[in-house]
Amino acid sequence: MASRLTVRTAEGSVRGAREGAVLRWRSIPYAAPPVGELRWRAPAPVQPWRGVRDATTYGFASWQPRWGAGLAPGNFQPVSEDCLTLNVVAPAEPSERPRPTVVFIHGGGYIIGTSALEMYGGVRLVERGDIVYVSMNYRLGPLGYLDLSTFSTANRPIESNLGMRDQVAALEWVQRNIAAFGGDPDNVTIFGESAGGNAVTSLMVTPAARGLFHQAIAQSAPAHWAHDKDDSERWARSYIELLGATPETAVPALERATPK
């Protein structure tokens, strides 16, 4: 069993834990931490690591209000910009054939939420459905969904749709690595609820996500969360004003801004 708990991914080895009838790996990085020069940028590849990375405990939730990362009364997951991780749950019983892969995207209005919430853990789905389950964190709030690209410069590129790009990067990780956990990269279903459902419908029409999944389930997905460039630019200007900056000083203001 110990050998099955340590899995070699394309980026390095991770060690999980057995919990009853399932094996669980928590907070595996699927992209580089989006901090420093990578803030406001599309997700970058993970730097490969040596040795075995412990994946038995959760790391950080995406930066958000403290109450948004509540796991239980009085128990809050720490938040950080270093949040681009995912979790894998697989049956403890080995299988001769690859198992269907299911990838869950949490809701929360693109403002709050975390894959560490136990109701998103996926254990029952794995036990009853004989699948391999993946859940992810992605950037939320302004760091993930405010289009500030109008303030991009040649020296400091700023990109848009970062939360969705994170989701695509997580699905690319699944294609590279899920077979090592017993999952089938050619049979991937994505599903999500509320904002996660909206993410599903958005990914269905996103060219960068083509071929990364094969079935989709959108639960309680809002139908009005896509906004045009004019709206995006208006909200971006308002955000810069809230930072006490002008279009000319937007880049340094965005670099030093601290999420609150």
> Model confidence over 224-239: pLDDT tens digits?
777 888 899 999 999 9
The structural domain count of the chain equals 1
Please determine, for residue 260, whether its predicted confidence score (pLDDT) is greater than 70.
Answer: no
Q: What pLDDT is recorded for position 176?
A: 98
Quick check: is 141 in a domain?
Answer: yes
Quick check: is 130 in a domain?
Answer: yes
Please determine, for residue 2, whether its predicted confidence score (pLDDT) is greater than 60.
Answer: no
Q: What pLDDT is recorded for position 222?
A: 83
Give one DSSP letter per residue of the chain, joined into a string: -HHHHEEE-SS-EEE-EEETTEEEEEEEESS----GGGTTSPPPPPPP-SSEEE-SS--PEES--GGGGEEETTEE--EES---EEEEEEESS--SSPEEEEEEE--STTTS--TTSGGGS-HHHHHHH--EEEEE----HHHHH---GGG--SSS---S-HHHHHHHHHHHHHHHHGGGGTEEEEEEEEEEETHHHHHHHHHHT-GGGTTS-SEEEEES--S-----HHHHHHHHHHHHHHTT--GGGHHHHHHH----
Quick check: is 193 in a domain?
Answer: yes
Quick check: is 219 in a domain?
Answer: yes
Quick check: is 190 in a domain?
Answer: yes
Range of the domain at 124: 2-230
> Model confidence over 40-66: pLDDT tens digits?
999 999 999 999 999 999 999 999 998
Quick check: is 236 in a domain?
Answer: no
Q: What pLDDT is recorded for position 171?
A: 99
Quick check: is 249 in a domain?
Answer: no
Query: Percent of the chain scored above 70 by pLDDT?
Result: 98
Q: What pLDDT is recorded for position 226?
A: 76
Mean pLDDT for 121-143 is 97
- Give residue 10's pLDDT band: very low, low, confident or very high (50, 70, 90): very high
- Give residue 73's pLDDT band: very low, low, confident or very high (50, 70, 90): confident
Mean pLDDT for 166-175 is 99
Please determine, for residue 169, whether its predicted confidence score (pLDDT) is greater than 70.
Answer: yes
Please determine, for residue 212, whether its predicted confidence score (pLDDT) is greater than 80.
Answer: yes
Mean of all residue pLDDT scores within the chain: 95
Quick check: is 255 in a domain?
Answer: no
Q: What pLDDT is recorded for position 136?
A: 98
| CATH code (residue 88) | 3.40.50.1820
